[in-house]
Amino acid sequence: MPLIDAELGPRPGPPGLPIAAVLTCLLLSINHTGKATLIEAWRIAAFCLTAAARHRLGLPDINPEDIHQVLASSRRFYRAFDRLTTVLDPARHDRRARLPQHQADALAAAWEDDDPAHSHKRELLQDIVTALVLTPVRWAKGRGYLRHFRGDVG
């Protein structure tokens, strides 16, 4: 986590949720549900952790019966993950938009250049993504859920 904290550095505005808490809840989600989804991770963070665990991770307490606190909590959780991907993305843009070819080529070039700062960000982001993708597969394989699967598990 020190590498991620160093990359995020001081940012303007309120501190928000700690990135380490979001990633920890993602790993807990993988362990408990077999899924690496933000919604499952947020549910664990908001409703399943003990008060001591929430305090240790830096997560604020919320009243589950107050819909405004619940919505604010989920938005903070998603924004924290978005902060991480924003900082580590060498060419941030709206991934849902269809781009003209010249803009797509410029963004692809930013991902493929040799700039040391971009290379470091790409490697760190790739490590996080690889862990989030491979952990549920290793977990399922270790428990024997994939023993009848005839394809390549990788």
- Could you give the CA distance from residue 2 to residue 4 in angstroms, rounded to a whole number? 5
If phi > 0 it is left, if psi is from -120 to 50 it is alpha, else beta; for residue 120 that is alpha
Q: What pTM was computed for the model?
A: 0.62
CA distances from 61 to 66, 79, 102, 126, 153 (A): 12, 17, 47, 32, 40
Sign of CA dihedral 108, 114, 118, 122: positive
Residue-wise pLDDT for 29-80, tens only, equals: 888 888 888 999 999 999 999 999 999 998 988 899 999 999 999 999 998 8
